[in-house]
Chains A and B, each alone.
Chain A
Amino acid sequence: MTEQLLKGNVAFAEAAVRNGLRAYFGYPITPQSEALEHLSGRMIEEGRVFLQAESEIAAINMVYGAACTGVRVMTSTSGPGLALMAEGLSYIAGSEVPVVVVNMMRGGPGLGNIQPSQADYNFMTKSAGHGDFHPLVLAPASIQEIIDMVGLAFELAEKYRTLVMIAGDGSIGQMMESAELPPMQPVRDTVPEWAVSGAKGREPNVVTSLYLGAEKLEALNLRLQAKLAEIKRNETRSVEVATEDADLLLVAYGTAGRICVSVLREARRQGLNVGLFRPQTLWPYPEERLSELADQVKGMLVVEMSAGQMLEDVQRVVQGRVPIRFHGRMGGAIPMVDEILVDAESLAKEIGQW
């Protein structure tokens, strides 16, 4: 095992190269610009395509075009850039082409700032563009996890011909941590049978999101919904810490999730039976497991770097079975262990566990 000290942005970029990324199109934006810096060297070294587009709108449409030809392609950005990409994301979803997009969330709304945030949760999971679709959204909490999720993202994108997003934040992007990169894989030399890759000797393939006529477009929508249902059945992921005997459950993802590991340790030292549920897929949300836990614990504390966006999914799943409290910081502020602990203690008192 060869562990290296890697910055999140460099780590996911290099992981993509090693997973056989054929083409990258993007536009720099803090806190993910190191990814472009890294790829601008590495992709050229490997004889692959790196292109810094004139805008995020151009970048996502280049990604769309490349994806139609069946090659492994990705882009990365942060909130304001993702907003510009929304039209393209919807076209990608409607055309059913595999694409991976990394979003290193930063403080918003507006130009906001370059500090870490989780306020693009609703945007990514529920409304990444017009029309009825959801991207599959993965949420890493460490450098190793984002490396592993890059490989998984390509695999899932291609398996389901769907849009996969990795929901990082400024902290995951900027942090350095020891991690291991995957072995180098060459660029795939086969072309998927649906791809637009030159029709010599066969019937032409058509990749489009344009379906004139309600019946045809509804048929596409029915197919998309069936696919999303299948993804929901097969691809929910979550990790748990000390949930076996937990009375109070922390629910948090990504950076907030790992902060809650520290909260959990401190709470346990103080004799509180605290567990942690950390979703790794934000869409599909790991509903089934959270629902089981709702029957076991006596209260939940949701922690996010937002005003409470995932909170609504937790409420939807729990359906009032146990009290749910929320601890959130916004605008680039990061929740602090001792402050979360205060809320955990007060909830513990309320549910008679302390």
Chain B
Amino acid sequence: MRHEETVFSGFGGQGVLFAGQLLSYAGMAEGLHVTWIPSYGPEMRGGTANCTVIVSEEEIGSPIVHHPSVAVVFNSPSMEKYESLVKPGGLLLINSSLIEAESRRDDIRVVYVPASYLAGEMGNVRMANMILLGAFVELTGLVSLETVMAQLDEHLSQRQRKWLEPNYESLRKGTALVRAAA
């Protein structure tokens, strides 16, 4: 059964909430049940931001989970918070550009992606979220990359449309990186 309970967590401004929304749109487009729920402080930028996305073939009960099956951590505070909470057998996806520590868990899959560095190299550090989402899609197989890209096209705001192609590229980059490492 397709079912993942994923936490995306980082600083406000890293596109954490949008990465989660895009996954939700993709899940919905593939006919799955989805919930997206954010948790953040009152500040617009610089505070911690995280969202929990549940994508499932089954109707969703609790939209909030104590032990996510996947944690995508964008910064060190998020790593500290979620590393220990990932369900045994789950996945921890780490933005290794901003997180120096290595995971001490040996009962989960841990994948390191230098997303912020790569995004900077590709021209905009803010696209780290798409690199990580691309990696997520390849690692979990929860939804297809094509669906994610189609949903990005549909939901990227007018103001951000010039970033559509670079975002596509970032998604592909994340996918390719993980595939090459496998």
Q: Which residues from chain A sit less than 8 Å from chain B, CB to CB?
A: 3, 5, 30, 114-115, 171, 174-178, 255, 258-265, 334, 336-339
Task: Verify B67–A338 contact, CB threshold 8 A.
Answer: yes
Task: Verify A259–B62 contact, CB threshold 8 A.
Answer: yes
Q: Shortest Cβ distance from A204 into chain B, in angstroms?
A: 49
Q: Which residue of A lies closest to B53 (CB)?
A: A176
B63 at interface, CB cutoff 8 A: yes
Q: Nearest 8 pairs between A and B by C-beta?
A: A262-B61, A261-B61, A259-B62, A176-B36, A262-B62, A336-B66, A175-B37, A178-B28
Q: Shortest Cβ distance from B156 into chain A, in angstroms?
A: 14
A-B contact pairs, 18 of them (CB 8 A): A3-B28, A5-B28, A115-B39, A171-B37, A174-B37, A175-B36, A176-B37, A177-B60, A178-B34, A258-B61, A258-B63, A259-B61, A260-B61, A261-B61, A263-B61, A263-B62, A264-B61, A338-B66
Task: Verify A175–B63 contact, CB threshold 8 A.
Answer: yes
Q: Quick one: which of B25, B35, B59, B66 contacts A175, CB cutoff 8 A?
A: B35
Q: Which residue of B lies closest to A338 (CB)?
A: B66
Task: Verify B61–A171 contact, CB threshold 8 A.
Answer: no
Residue numbers in A under 8 Å from B42 (CB-CB): 30, 114
Number of interface residues of B (CB under 8 A): 21
Residue numbers in B under 8 Å from A262 (CB-CB): 61-62
Q: Shortest Cβ distance from A301 into chain B, in angstroms?
A: 15
Q: Which residues from chain B sit less than 8 Å from chain A, CB to CB?
A: 21, 24-25, 28, 33-39, 42, 59-67
Dominant secondary structure at the A interface:
helix
Q: Shortest Cβ distance from A208 into chain B, in angstroms?
A: 41
**Assembled-state Cα–Cα distance A336/B39 (Å):** 15
Q: Shortest Cβ distance from B57 into chain A, in angstroms?
A: 13
With most chain B CB atoms within 10 A of its CB, the pick from A30, A114, A255, A258 is A258
Residue numbers in B under 8 Å from A174 (CB-CB): 37-38
With most chain A CB atoms within 10 A of its CB, the pick from B36, B65, B67 is B36
